[in-house]
Amino acid sequence: MNDTVMPHVDFRSDTVTRPSAGMRKAMADAEVGDAVYDEDPTTNRLESMAAERLGMEAALFFPSATQANLAGFMAHCGRGDEYIVGQTAHAYRDEGGGAAVLGSIQPQPLPNEPDGIIDLDAITSAIKPDDFHNPVTRLLTLENTFNGLPLPEDYLQNAIELARSNGVSTHLDGARIMNAAVAAGREASAIAGRFDSVSLCLSKGLGAPVGALLAGSTELIARAKRIRKTLGGGMRQTGVLAAAGIYALEHNVSRMREDHDRANRLSEVFREFPELGAGEARTNMVFLSPEGVDMRAFTAFMGDRDIITGSAHGKLRWVTHLDIDDEAIESVRRACKEFFGR
Ligand SMILES: Cc1ncc(COP(=O)(O)O)c(C=O)c1O
């Protein structure tokens, strides 16, 4: 738990964490320069570190994962090209349609299966033939973890091979790639390094206040840098922020195992009350699809006990993170017992 005051037990998202004392000190002590002139030593160090961790040649610091994804799409695709993306993927549904709005890139959304994958046959059918009537299918983008689910390794390999054999590049929205890596007991590079590009978010389970990275080949990152400038993402003394990112990569990756264990315990608590329809926790998220339970009353009851939860895709979403400790899980157990009267 952080040393800062906790007004609530907040399970809405892993984005709600506040920087720890150690992270704040690293930020205060950061050596800085003008990053637009490539003169910020801390940002340069974070970019090299992230490239190495993700198994890529180069990486670039961004203010947000939304901008990192968008710059990635624009670096891969030209005007009128298309990218294949999951119908419920963050990069399609929750990023303001940036690829279309700002990149003139047409999305080709395809359904996400319950385990987060996009069916390979559906991808094959969606890749357009080389015909002047069609947009050029340039990119396949996947998300890992997807709603807290790590995508199966063999699926990732097959999807990448399918894309490559059709001349289509691959991008991974790896906002939570570190959760996937920790869950698999593997280095992130073993998962991300096979893609042509990957985004990584520092302000989710990694606990930094701001920041994301896009990693890929040196050539792709050089293109993305030009695009980042166009998008207004060229920032100056970013070392203050990059220091938080370095601290996060050094201190907050392997400890994600604790978040996953707590999510697992949370799922067990909820399963004591079958009507909550609790799903399994594969990383740091638990979803509830209650039956015969008034969701609003349940959420309000929790809220009255300072326990905040969120919703996603018609379900209640509970996310564990740096600011959720064992006592927080116990407080949910007590509240559930009280709510159900048993
Ligand atoms: C899977 C995924 N990708 C990308 C993003 C975008 O991150 P940001 O809020 O830093 O733009 C999010 C944010 O929740 C996300 O969940």
Reported as a single tens digit per residue, the pLDDT across 203-229 is 999 999 999 999 999 999 999 999 999
Residue 2: predicted pLDDT: 47
Residue 134: predicted pLDDT: 97
Q: Please state, in angstroms and rounded to a whole number, the distance separating the CA atoms of residues 173 and 13.
A: 17
Atom of ligand 1 minimally distant from the CA of 89: 1
Residue 8: predicted pLDDT: 85
CA of 101 to the centre of ligand 1 (A): 18
Q: Which CATH class is domain 9-16+255-340?
A: alpha beta
Question: Which residues, 6 or more positions from 241, have their beta carbon under 8 angstroms from its beta carbon?
Answer: 27, 43, 61, 208, 209, 210, 211, 235
Domain range list for the chain: 9-16+255-340, 31-251
Q: Please state, in angstroms and rounded to a whole number, the distance separating the CA atoms of residues 89 and 280.
A: 20
Residue 5: pLDDT over 80: no
Residue 284: pLDDT over 80: yes
Residue 264: pLDDT over 90: yes
Q: Please state, in angstroms and rounded to a whole number, the distance separating the CA atoms of residues 307 and 326.
A: 14
CA of 61 to the centre of ligand 1 (A): 15
Residue 46: pLDDT over 90: yes
Residue 193: pLDDT over 60: yes
Residue 64 Cβ contacting ligand 1 at under 6 Å: yes
Q: How large is the average pLDDT for residues 157-182?
A: 98
Residue 133: pLDDT over 70: yes
Atom of ligand 1 minimally distant from the CA of 146: 1
Residue 3: pLDDT over 70: no
CA of 66 to the centre of ligand 1 (A): 6
Residue 318: predicted pLDDT: 98
Q: What are phi and psi of 319, to 5 degrees?
A: -120, 130
Residue 269: predicted pLDDT: 98
Q: What are phi and psi of 85, to 5 degrees?
A: -150, 150
Q: How large is the average pLDDT for residues 312-330?
A: 94
Confidence of residue 342 (pLDDT cuts 50, 70, 90): confident
The predicted-structure confidence for 79-118, as pLDDT tens digits, reads as follows: 999 999 999 999 999 999 999 999 999 999 999 999 999 9
Residue 65 Cβ contacting ligand 1 at under 6 Å: yes
Confidence of residue 314 (pLDDT cuts 50, 70, 90): confident
Q: Which of 200, 216, 283, 285 is nearest to 249 (CA)?
A: 200
Residues forming a β-bridge with 10: 308
Output the average pLDDT for the chain: 96
Residue 14 Cβ contacting ligand 1 at under 6 Å: no
Q: Please state, in angstroms and rounded to a whole number, the distance separating the CA atoms of residues 159 and 152.
A: 11
Q: Quick one: fold of 31-251?
A: Aspartate Aminotransferase; domain 2 (3.40.640)
The predicted-structure confidence for 288-297, as pLDDT tens digits, reads as follows: 999 999 999 9
Residue 143 Cβ contacting ligand 1 at under 6 Å: yes
Residue 189: pLDDT over 70: yes
Residue 1: pLDDT over 90: no
Residue 317 Cβ contacting ligand 1 at under 6 Å: no
The single residue listed with the structure tokens 């395809």 is 110
- Which residue's C-alpha comes closest to atom 8 of ligand 1? 65
Residue 66 Cβ contacting ligand 1 at under 6 Å: yes
Structure tokens at 296: 């609003």
CA of 215 to the centre of ligand 1 (A): 16
Contact 173, 200 (CB under 8 A): no
Structure tokens at 56: 């890529």
Residue 313: predicted pLDDT: 79
Q: How large is the average pLDDT for residues 117-126?
A: 98
Greater confidence (7 vs 142) lies with 142
Residue 214 Cβ contacting ligand 1 at under 6 Å: no
Structure tokens at 41: 């030593």
Structure tokens at 29: 């002590």
